[in-house]
């Protein structure tokens, strides 16, 4: 009995890899856009009728920041599943887009320095990074616990802004207030989970390739 060993088609490997990268990036972009739109809803609800929607402040600075962050984290997931790349873990800083992009609005940087306006965006970005490290399962335990406690504290503080800024209209014992609080907390938790990607352990590229071929067989 002769067993013929079939070698994988190496010519299709680069195209398969490119398709996987594009898929991860596109999924990341869509998720980031959805996240930005959802978090903008929370911001609009706590401000109420004074909320203003415009092309740059809303679409570019918030939803655009979500898209860029999603693209970078999608790329990080592709790198993580394919053996990693040199310096790829710097993609852990992707959430800083939420802090940087709003500062490109006219007068935003001066308002941040003089009045503290826009500090919430910085807090969201740093919370995402800290929370991502905390749930990544990689790194010193004391560091992950510390980052986790800090992230939870900020999430709790942002939930507290719902009745604090929205007033009795968004009291947590009211359906609308509970909805907005859940929306804010879940957005931040999801962002922390996504931001854990660059901190996670790298998968072996050869094993990932075998798994891919097995699923296609």
Q: How confident is the model at residue 47 (pLDDT cuts 50, 70, 90)?
A: confident
Q: Which two tokens stand for residue 113?
A: 């320095």
Predicted pLDDT of residue 48: 82
Q: Which letter, b or e, does each residue of 145-182 get, where b requires 16 or more Cβ atoms within 10 Å of its Cβ?
A: eebbeebbebbeebbebbbeebeeebeeeeeebeebbe
Domain ranges of the chain: 15-210
| Percent over 70 (pLDDT), the chain | 84
What is the structure's pLDDT at 5? 46
H-type helices in the chain, by residue range? 13-47, 65-81, 97-100, 108-115, 119-134, 141-166, 175-195, 205-216
Quote the pLDDT of residue 207.
52
In angstroms, rounded to a whole number, what is the distance separating the alpha carbons of residues 31 and 55? 20
Query: 3-class secondary structure for 42-75?
Result: HHHHHHHHHCCCCHHHHHHHHHHHHHHHHHHHHH
Exposure on the CB side of residue 106, measured as CA atoms within 13 A: 1
Q: What is the pTM of this model?
A: 0.83
50: confidence class by pLDDT, cuts 50, 70, 90: confident
Q: Is the CB of residue 191 less than 8 Å from the CB of residue 35?
A: yes
Average pLDDT over residues 148-155: 96
Rounded percentage of the chain residues whose pLDDT exceeds 90: 61
Tokens of 211: 């798994």
Does residue 208 or residue 157 have the better pLDDT?
A: 157
**What pLDDT sits at residue 64?**
95
Q: What are the pLDDT digits (tens) for 15-45?
A: 667 778 899 999 999 999 999 999 999 999 9
Distance CA 118, CA 123 (A): 9
Q: What is the mean pLDDT of residues 126-147?
A: 96
The 10s digit of each residue's pLDDT in 172-210 is: 999 999 999 999 999 999 999 999 999 999 987 655 554
Average pLDDT over residues 41-69: 89
Residues counted in the chain: 217
Give the DSSP letter of residue 23.
H
């Amino acid at each position: 009995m002769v067993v013929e060993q079939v070698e994988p088609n190496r010519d299709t490997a680069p195209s398969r890899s490119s398709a996987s990268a594009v898929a991860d990036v596109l999924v990341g972009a869509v998720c980031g856009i959805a996240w930005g739109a959802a978090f903008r809803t929370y911001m609009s609800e706590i401000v109420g009728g004074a909320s203003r929607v415009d092309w740059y402040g809303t679409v570019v600075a918030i939803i655009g920041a979500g898209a860029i962050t999603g693209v970078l984290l999608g790329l990080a997931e592709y790198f993580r599943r394919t053996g990693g790349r040199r310096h790829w873990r710097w993609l852990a800083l992707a959430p800083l887009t939420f802090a940087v992009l709003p500062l490109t609005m006219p007068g935003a940087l001066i308002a941040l320095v003089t009045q503290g306006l826009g500090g919430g965006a910085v807090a969201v970005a740093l919370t995402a990074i800290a929370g991502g490290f905390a749930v990544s399962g990689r790194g010193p335990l004391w560091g992950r616990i510390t980052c986790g406690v800090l992230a939870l504290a900020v999430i709790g503080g942002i939930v507290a802004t719902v009745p604090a800024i929205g007033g009795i209209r968004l009291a947590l014992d009211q359906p609308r207030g509970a909805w907005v609080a859940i929306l804010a907390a879940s957005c931040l938790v999801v962002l922390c989970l996504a931001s854990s990607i660059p901190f996670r352990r790298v998968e072996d590229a050869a094993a990932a390739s075998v798994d891919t071929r097995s699923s296609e067989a």
